[in-house]
A and B are shown apart, each in its own frame.
Chain A
């Protein structure tokens, strides 16, 4: 059974609407619009600001770094040294330049002699990739000690060193120039000086000025400035090396981008020091309220504060009511029934209103009907409540409250099933049939019949659903006490997008149960 990528459920973060003021109120959200990609998130990627009463996506939070650490050795790096060390681990942690796996320090000799005093293996050592067998020793990089590899590597003369010294020269050149005068911003004086020069030169005649002009202004000592001429011999050498090497011997683009000296050949790749990571706290952009605050200790995975949206916003789940159809092969013009389950994470019961356009947006619109668009969902009370209730009541008692259709297909206006803090309703989807144009294009792009296209595939049924939740909470006073019977009315309203499957070709023998 192929792993199905359906159903997928996203929430549109309202921060996008807030930014685009031209956006009309009450307009149906179009999941196919190009911009929708950037505002749709799975529920578990969202945070929630309880001051603003609004979900917060990664775009509407500000981040602050709590600590820096190496993901490989879990060593915390003090803030002061992070930048000078290039945001990379300064110890023994390196990445393979070819496959980016973590390298380990091993002795070059497979059966190394051991030091008599310490009992530790003796060098030389190499950085070895346990995944692709890349070894620094094969490229002439061996280490005397198994520790402080970074320092040892730094002292070695590598392909990088020439560049660095050339860069140092150029840097000195500009720093000195910069000190003499602030050339770029202090143009007036510069300009008048040049004009003075020109007026004298002008009287001498153009041809003479040409020879002296370039030099008189700046004495460019090429050697000292690190100026290097491109010469033909060097370029021919590279071409010959390419000619004699295999394509596999040249570094891939991805490998080159990771290396400061942009090597053309794999032989010239250097191990990459592990990139440091950070723990970050997150604040709401609007009210500066802290939404996430991790424990400052590197080894701790605890959060001091974490306001995840999943604890505030109802979660939608989708499943097939009858497992007779395939998500990847929805049958055109047939009724597909899904079970939409709304789960309430709040400690108060909520009343839910679902709204969806009759026809989904896009070139091939499907007809969508939610059989029961208005219903209540129970509070997220103690898990045991349900079990105790169930034990108390007779097994058949609960089903009486639920009005399932006679034939198990659901009836309009009533819910399908409900539990402690969830309610399920039936959603009917009738996809259209795709025209020849679609299929010929699909094939021309090299896709197999049931395969989803990259990007926005017209055949995928995406249903925008506007979920409006109203609930009442007990008003909490400033001192923390509950303010008696006074209740506060709250409301959440978000656009969800349900990707329910992909329209297929009509089967000759329909398998959907009658």
Chain B
């Protein structure tokens, strides 16, 4: 997918990508598949060759593909031109069980009570990618977004393949009702997706199911398509990380920095919800000896609570004091399913907005995490940073087309709230790109946070492995200022302008966007065919995938 912006070659913006090779060396080896700005000539020739490549192998080109969205928490599969996928499958614990051992093992306890007891995070815990489960509530704060490289090289990659195979077999034989060998597969791939994992998925599809080919598309492009536009800023709130990415004319735009990733995402929201419930006195019970014990809540019960009860204030903390909401506060009872010994959770409805607050809008130090953890920017700040890093024309095209996708993004009120705060940030700061970075560069620790008096404006990357890359980027930003010379004037103009152009538009989501594009016979560039894949010994050649 060409991301290339011709202005990189124009004199207006000297290419900030001069150090792309250096930057590459600082990235984790298994995350090779993204964000390498290339020169226009390179991508030009590349396009031609891959185009040719496609035509030489258009044996299956005319036949309708299937669209497969393989997420961390769900798999969606279906046919192009359809509104919704034929199936949405979750990674149920059954997929981790032996055949013939299926179903909860329920039998009578000595005390006669029937109970379902689960280890937290056991049996996959509803997520496909196991190494990421390091991001659990207690130890989660310091593990941050890990790179694809595991510390202990164990079976986990193979287990992932095994589980994925079971899920896909379900999709093919129960819902799609097709022969997997007959259909090409279109696969949306999120930005900075680990190559190792992509290889696993490709291997399952091509080697195990015998699909003719797999075509990769950036999922942000599908998200934009799902909104009925061609450009926009995609905020993908996933399970382990939130990715903010600009898309221009159906091409993902890699700005002057690495793809904007933050671990303020679904799993953190769930952890915060768990903390909220555990804090409550009512949710503690006395055992037979009168000792106070805290009840355990299953992850899937928490998932339900987050999906059904979670909401977000549309106005920030300053605005709540209007008093309009106070009298509306009322008690809300959450029965815990399948858990007879557990009491229902009685909670004030207003409190159910707190987990979202702490996940997306507050500095992370306010959580239980250790204080020395570097902070992730809040979601509005994260979006603002990404907008800042985008080429100015792309930014203009994105401002009124902000698109939220991902399961967690559907929390009611969240999108409005983000826009309100983003509006404030833009009004305060305009588009001053340089100053902030230069100041920050010399700051350390808590001093890095801007002295704006508001929570949630601290910014920087949390992941250690990105640090050096970031510093390099910052120094590049300075260079840009020197030569561009227009930023300050621009910022002043922006500041006086009302930021009214901000607008969130609804997207059908990544899968449906893919369905739309595939039905329009849009052809992908990155295609792996079965025979070629087998010849290469089931390895992906990602050398020319500069912009996926």
Contact = CB atoms under 8 A, between A and B. Distances in A.
B422 to A, nearest CB: 13
A38 to B, nearest CB: 4
A454 B105 contact: yes
Nearest to B520: A178
Contacts of B412: 235, 238-239, 242, 264
A226 B397 CA distance: 18
A454 B177 contact: no
Interface in B303-345: 303-304, 307-309, 311, 314, 328, 330, 332-335
Interface string B86-126: 10101001001111110001011111000001110011000
Contacts of A450: 110
Contact of A65 (B2, B93, B105, B179): B179
Interface in A425-467: 445-455
B173 interface: yes
A174 B517 contact: yes
A229 B505 contact: yes
A212 B332 CA distance: 51
Contact of A209 (B117, B314, B393): B393
Most central of A63, A186, A227, A262 by chain B CB within 10 Å? A227
Given A63-B179, A167-B508, A207 B90 contact: no
Given A185-B523, A247-B333, A37 B98 contact: yes
A446 B293 CA distance: 11
B408 interface: no
B158 interface: yes
A447 B512 contact: no
Given A37-B98, A232-B314, A250-B308, A225 B229 contact: yes
A210 B497 CA distance: 14
Given A82-B177, A209-B393, A218-B249, A229 B119 contact: no
B408 to A, nearest CB: 13
Contacts of B109: 448, 451
A267 interface: no
Contacts of B231: 214, 218
Contacts of A167: 83, 508, 512, 516
A187 B307 contact: no
User: What interface size band does chain B fall in?
Assistant: 35 or more
A3 B107 CA distance: 6
Interface string A192-209: 001100110010001101
Nearest to B104: A454
A170 B228 contact: yes
Contact of A229 (B396, B503, B508): B503
Given A2-B108, A64-B179, A257 B88 contact: yes
Interface stretch (B159-167, B271-279, B378-386): B159-167
Contacts of A222: 228
A188 interface: yes
Interface in B493-548: 493, 503-506, 508, 512, 516-517, 519-525
Contact of A220 (B230, B504, B517): B230
B186 to A, nearest CB: 12
Contacts of A83: 79
Interface in A75-112: 82-83, 86-87
Contacts of A63: 173, 179
B2 A191 contact: yes
A214 B334 contact: no
Most central of A184, A188, A209, A217 by chain B CB within 10 Å? A184
A492 interface: no
Interface residues of A, number: 107
A29 B254 CA distance: 48
A162 to B, nearest CB: 11
A217 B251 CA distance: 14
Given A38-B166, A183-B522, A210-B392, A5 B105 contact: yes
A285 to B, nearest CB: 9
A217 B249 CA distance: 9
Nearest to A88: B86
Contact of B307 (A42, A173, A256): A256
A455 B12 contact: no
B39 to A, nearest CB: 12
Interface in A45-77: 45, 58-59, 62-65, 68
Contact of A214 (B169, B396, B415, B521): B396
21 contacts: A8-B101, A34-B156, A38-B162, A65-B178, A68-B177, A87-B175, A163-B83, A167-B508, A167-B512, A178-B522, A183-B249, A187-B51, A188-B48, A191-B43, A217-B249, A229-B505, A238-B412, A253-B304, A260-B84, A276-B177, A455-B119
Interface of B: 1-2, 4, 6-7, 9-12, 40, 43-44, 47-48, 51, 54, 74, 79, 81-84, 86, 88, 90, 93, 96-101, 105, 107-111, 117-119, 122-123, 154-156, 158-159, 162-163, 165-166, 169, 173-179, 181, 208, 210, 225-231, 249-250, 296, 303-304, 307-309, 311, 314, 328, 330, 332-335, 349, 392-393, 396-397, 404, 410, 412-413, 415-416, 486, 489-490, 493, 503-506, 508, 512, 516-517, 519-525
